[in-house]
Amino acid sequence: MLKFWRKFGLVMAGGSIQGFGMGIFLFPHAIPSGGAGGLAVLLNHFFYLNIGLALWLVNFSMLMLAMKYLGNRATLWTMMSMTVTSLAIYASQQTFNFVKGDVWIDLCLGSVFLGTGVGLLLREGVSNGGVGVIALIISNSRSILPGKPLFFINGLIFILTALIIKWEIIVQAILSQWISTILVDIICKMEFHQNYTIGWRKK
């Protein structure tokens, strides 16, 4: 029972931290946190959906596609992490009336929060959803490593988002991914002696 509540707390913390970084620093500048983030930005742009809700819908639909590749327990934890992240995005945007600052400073800050949150989730073996799920399906069906399809899918979404909103998004998205990935590795290497699945990195 203690192990369950520890994991519950870390999943709540991870989802909240990454949601805060996305909602306060990244999404106000339309910087996608990954492929799913890019699709959420586009849904917000075209249909004026709250970006937290849009991200949840994108992640949830992808998770449904890949449910047979995950155990029931992993699926429930992933659904929880996605929901907490989306709620954190919504709550942070409604609670904090921040004026947009310098885009590059906000990008760095948001990426630090994003990487910290994702790192906490991965330490617990919990996915935060995203297009990595689709990349995993392609990888399993074609017997290839998931890195190439993940890069291709994310790249297409980044390009589409850049063409529709602004071209700088490609550079900003890649830089955000680089910074957040460094933080993921740092968090996962900390001495807690817990297993984590780096294959679930997003999205």
Question: In this predicted model, what pLDDT tens digit does every residue of 58-100 receive, in sequence order?
Answer: 888 887 776 766 667 777 888 898 889 989 998 988 887 666 7
Q: What's the domain count of the chain?
A: 1
Which residue, chain included where needed, has tokens 């998205």?
173
Per-residue pLDDT, 1: 80
How many whole angstroms separate alpha carbon 176 and alpha carbon 37?
Answer: 12
Per-residue pLDDT, 68: 67
Whole domain around residue 68: which residue ranges?
2-200
Three-point CA angle 129, 48, 157, nearest 5°: 45
Per-residue pLDDT, 60: 83
pLDDT at 36 over 50: yes
pLDDT digits (tens, 9 = 90+) for 119-161: 888 788 777 777 766 766 776 678 776 557 777 888 888 889 8
